[in-house]
Amino acid sequence: MELSVESLRGSGGFTGAPVKREVTWESGGESYTADVYVRRLSYYTAVTDVYAIAGKGDLGAGRIASCICDAEGKPIFKMSDITGMYEDGTLVMDEDPEGNPVERGALDDALAMALLVVIGEVNELGKPKAKTSSRKKNSGTS
């Protein structure tokens, strides 16, 4: 096969459509369940991983932001939604019903871990790859 965009379309060279999964987590004594869409790891994920390793981001937040999406594959989180702060260190603020600023905080740890688990499941992370045996056969002589 000659490498081209056309040849990659039919050979799994792109991440494809997001995969729907159910995620369950507990917070404040309550149990919650939601459907999420997970995009497979991609070039974008690799870039966010490199930034995180270089100290310019958060590996877990980057994974969640690059992989959790809507049914059409559009990201639903920014890294600041997950960490609770912007790159410049200021806190993410929302408004209460009266319009007063309130700190949002970081994504709940149980939800963040549940999202990372479904990302791992969709991408088959942690599963050993099938190996072909490279052991030499014993001829029976020493």
Tens digit of pLDDT for each residue in 75-110? Answer: 999 999 999 999 899 999 999 999 999 998 999 999
How wide is the angle at C-alpha 67 spanned by C-alphas 56 and 6, nearest 5°? 105
Determine which helix (DSSP H) or strand (DSSP E) holds 35, and give its type and residue range: strand 30-38
* 23 φ/ψ angles, rounded to the nearest 5 degrees: -125, 140
Q: Where are the domains of the chain?
A: 16-122
DSSP H helices, the chain, are 5-9, 43-53, 59-67, 79-83, 109-122
* 57 φ/ψ angles, rounded to the nearest 5 degrees: 170, -175
Select from 73, 71, 58, 43 the least CA-distant residue to 112.
58
Compute the distance between CA of residue 70 and CA of residue 77 in angstroms, rounded to an integer.
10
Q: Give the pLDDT band (50/70/90) at residue 111.
A: very high
pTM of the model: 0.77
Higher pLDDT, residue 33 or 123: 33
Residues facing 69 on adjacent strands:
37, 75
Tokens of 49: 């991983």
